[in-house]
Amino acid sequence: MNIGIVGLGLIGASFGKTLKKVTENKVFGYDINPDVLLKAGLVGAIDDELCEANLPDVDVLVISVYPRAFKEVAKAYLPKMKNGSVLMDFCGIKRGIEEDMKELSVEYPDISFVGAHPMAGREFSGIDRSLSTLFDRATCVVVPVKADIFTLEKVRDLFLTVGFSEAVFSTAYRHDEIIAFTSQLCHIVSNAFIKSPMASSHFGFSAGSYRDLTRVARLNPTMWTELMMDNRDLLKNELDGLIGRLTEYSKALEDGDEQRLYDLLKEGSDLKISIDKGKVR
Amino acid sequence: MNIGIVGLGLIGASFGKTLKKVTENKVFGYDINPDVLLKAGLVGAIDDELCEANLPDVDVLVISVYPRAFKEVAKAYLPKMKNGSVLMDFCGIKRGIEEDMKELSVEYPDISFVGAHPMAGREFSGIDRSLSTLFDRATCVVVPVKADIFTLEKVRDLFLTVGFSEAVFSTAYRHDEIIAFTSQLCHIVSNAFIKSPMASSHFGFSAGSYRDLTRVARLNPTMWTELMMDNRDLLKNELDGLIGRLTEYSKALEDGDEQRLYDLLKEGSDLKISIDKGKVR
């Protein structure tokens, strides 16, 4: 197959590197930043620049840009895409993308539209941090927008081939609802956590729990502002839920209520153990 | 030297295993649970049981029990300890221990008293989870209560010998203040985080940030209730600070205030980068 990747940041470039390492697919890539495009060739994230000449040969076009840029970018590429090809995105939120794709699919009925969100990332961004191992054993959430079962099988196989452990099919809403918790809330908590006046004194007084809690305090604020704002109904719900729960611990501390604090801690610990063990879906 | 360890849980047993692996010291241990004591011998965490016969030969006695048990345990061992020996504890909070030690030191003027807190742990507890590598490159906070400089050097050397990267000397208050943030707050946040209704749906929709945020949701609620309650003034301060900061993000989401959300995220990210780079103390 010929695979096109638009946007060679951490995720796009990692996808290209992996495709080139473990498949025979030809990888065409493009980035709005010419230095990034040049680098993509040098580090082996693409075979060649994605351009007007080879776009009609592309079987799967992955758009890996910020969510709000998706539609315009898709519009620029769709007119030259061949019938039967697949347009996919890699954004971290899906409701808006699904809407965009639905609109576009009216005009391009012979193209398949599939949303995807690789469940992998780093606290760093950009091609310099991309890794051909980023997707190893990660899952990929797939939101079918307009695609038949054979296309979805092809998409799933592509993800499994590059190292994902599973393609998890989901609606856009369900994706955004769960991701508000598993990803977005983590970033807000970590980002707010590091702002304690004690943070700069942690050296020598910290270990794994501090390291883990603050890892994703570092983030790309431009991208995350878009991701969070465009998911703000669900994210605010999660955030307020957490604030409410934290307030219970604060109350127990204020009251010196040991039994209550014990109960709160035990409930959380038991839940963590049962979730890890039971793999409740 | 002869080293005694009372309390062969995760930390005590890991200390014993490491001492036996990398030093020539003789390790005597005791645990209130006879099964744990037996196991300590079997897994090589101790050379022999700590008992009335060998207690007078012990040079450094480490009491590695829950904070509120410290004083009574110390009282049971002190009468048989030799002049010039060191009594040390491994508790996660230090103000109460310092008070206990100060009181005890009046009656035992020829014993040195040193508080210590190895900055290492796991989300698991007990001897079965102990590791001879637990302290590798960790720091150990040392709170001198009654000890001369030569004794403190001996203590520091002991920690360096078993793999700690540094012995960080601190007052009890400073320790408790920083630890409220670097350790206790992490555990509360993680424990409260996992209680989201979305948590059991995370499979397939989560990656590193979820994994990191929820790791220490699992904890020993009995021990942590003691640690947190006995540090509740400082901990509540940290917790309320975090709740206040999280509320700012919630407000920005509610208002749909993108610039504000961006500013909040950027501030946290910049701070994390500068703390990691600058190693500000």
| B159/B181 same-domain check | no
Q: What is the ipTM metric for this complex?
A: 0.94
Whether residue B182 is predicted with pLDDT greater than 80 in this model: the reply is yes
Q: Which residue of B has its CA nearest to A176?
A: B205
User: If pLDDT is split at 50, 70 and 90, which confidence band does A281 have?
Assistant: very low
Q: Which of A239, A260, A269 to mutate to test the interface with B (most CBs of B within 10 A)?
A: A269
The pLDDT, as a whole number, for residue B281 is: 44
The C-alpha of A278 sits at a distance from chain B's nearest C-alpha, in angstroms, of 9
Lowest mean pLDDT among A199-208, A221-230, A244-253: A199-208
The pLDDT, as a whole number, for residue B124 is: 83
Of B208, B250, B256, the CB nearest to A243: B250
φ, ψ (nearest 5 deg) of residue B254: -60, -45
The pLDDT, as a whole number, for residue B176 is: 98
Name the β-bridge partners of B115.
B89, B143
| B33/B158 same-domain check | yes
The C-alpha of A244 sits at a distance from chain B's nearest C-alpha, in angstroms, of 9
The pLDDT, as a whole number, for residue A260 is: 98
**More reliable by pLDDT, A246 or A124:** A246
What tokens were used for A159? 């993800």
The C-alpha of B80 sits at a distance from chain A's nearest C-alpha, in angstroms, of 33
Mean pLDDT in residue range B21-32: 97
The pLDDT, as a whole number, for residue B106 is: 98
| A151/A239 same-domain check | no
User: If pLDDT is split at 50, 70 and 90, which confidence band does B228 have?
Assistant: very high
Residue A43 DSSP one-character state: T
| B36/B142 same-domain check | yes
Q: Which of A68, A143, A205 to mutate to test the interface with B (most CBs of B within 10 A)?
A: A205
Mean pLDDT in residue range A11-23: 97
Please name the amino acid found at residue B210.
Answer: Y
The C-alpha of B216 sits at a distance from chain A's nearest C-alpha, in angstroms, of 7
Does the distance separating the beta carbons of B190 and A213 come in below 8 Å?
yes
Among the three residues A152, A170, A188, which one is the final residue of a domain in this structure? Answer: A170
CATH number, position B55: 3.40.50.720
| B87/B133 same-domain check | yes
Among the three residues A131, A149, A170, which one is the final residue of a domain in this structure? Answer: A170
Residue-range definition of the domain harbouring residue B12 = 2-170
What tokens were used for B95? 């103000």
| A7/A143 same-domain check | yes
Does the distance separating the beta carbons of A250 and B240 come in below 8 Å?
yes
The C-alpha of B236 sits at a distance from chain A's nearest C-alpha, in angstroms, of 6
| A135/A259 same-domain check | no
Whether residue A68 is predicted with pLDDT greater than 60 in this model: the reply is yes
Average pLDDT in chain B: 96
Residue A32 DSSP one-character state: S
Task: Name every chain A residue with its beta carbon within 8 A of the beta carbon of B207.
Answer: 119-121, 138, 182-183
Whether residue A234 is predicted with pLDDT greater than 60 in this model: the reply is yes
Positive/negative CA dihedral, B136, B141, B143, B148: positive
Q: Which residue has the tokens 């758009």?
A: A63
Q: What percent of chain A has pLDDT over 70?
A: 99
User: If pLDDT is split at 50, 70 and 90, which confidence band does A125 have?
Assistant: confident
Whether residue A121 is predicted with pLDDT greater than 90 in this model: the reply is no
Number of domains comprising chain A? 2
CA distance A151 to A156: 9
Does the distance separating the beta carbons of B183 and A269 come in below 8 Å?
no
Count of C-beta atoms within a 10 Å radius of residue A241:
18
User: If pLDDT is split at 50, 70 and 90, which confidence band does B279 have?
Assistant: low
The pLDDT, as a whole number, for residue B99 is: 98
Whether residue B280 is predicted with pLDDT greater than 80 in this model: the reply is no
Among the three residues A115, A135, A170, which one is the final residue of a domain in this structure? Answer: A170
| B129/B34 same-domain check | yes
Whether residue A215 is predicted with pLDDT greater than 50 in this model: the reply is yes
The C-alpha of B225 sits at a distance from chain A's nearest C-alpha, in angstroms, of 6
Whether residue A279 is predicted with pLDDT greater than 70 in this model: the reply is no
Q: Which of B195, B240, B259, B281 to mutate to test the interface with A (most CBs of A within 10 A)?
A: B195
Size of interface A-B (CB pairs under 8 A): 306
Q: Which residue of A has its CA nearest to B253?
A: A232
Does the distance separating the beta carbons of B279 and A207 come in below 8 Å?
no
Whether the Cβ atoms of residue B155 and residue B130 lie closer than 8 Å to each other: no
CATH number, position A256: 1.10.3660.10
Does the distance separating the beta carbons of B141 and A212 come in below 8 Å?
no
pTM of the model: 0.93
Q: Which of A11, A94, A193, A232 to mutate to test the interface with B (most CBs of B within 10 A)?
A: A193
Does the distance separating the beta carbons of A281 and B195 come in below 8 Å?
no
User: If pLDDT is split at 50, 70 and 90, which confidence band does B123 have?
Assistant: confident
| A78/A182 same-domain check | no
Mean pLDDT in residue range A2-9: 97
CA distance B15 to B164: 11
| B110/B14 same-domain check | yes
Q: In which region does residue B126 sit, left (phi positive, over 0), alpha (psi from -120 to 50) or beta (all else)?
A: left
CA distance B205 to B175: 38
| A153/A199 same-domain check | no
Does the distance separating the beta carbons of B205 and A178 come in below 8 Å?
yes
The C-alpha of B246 sits at a distance from chain A's nearest C-alpha, in angstroms, of 6
Mean pLDDT in residue range A116-124: 89
| A194/A255 same-domain check | yes
The model's pLDDT over B58-86, given as tens digits with 9 standing for 90+, comes to 999 999 999 999 999 999 999 999 999 99
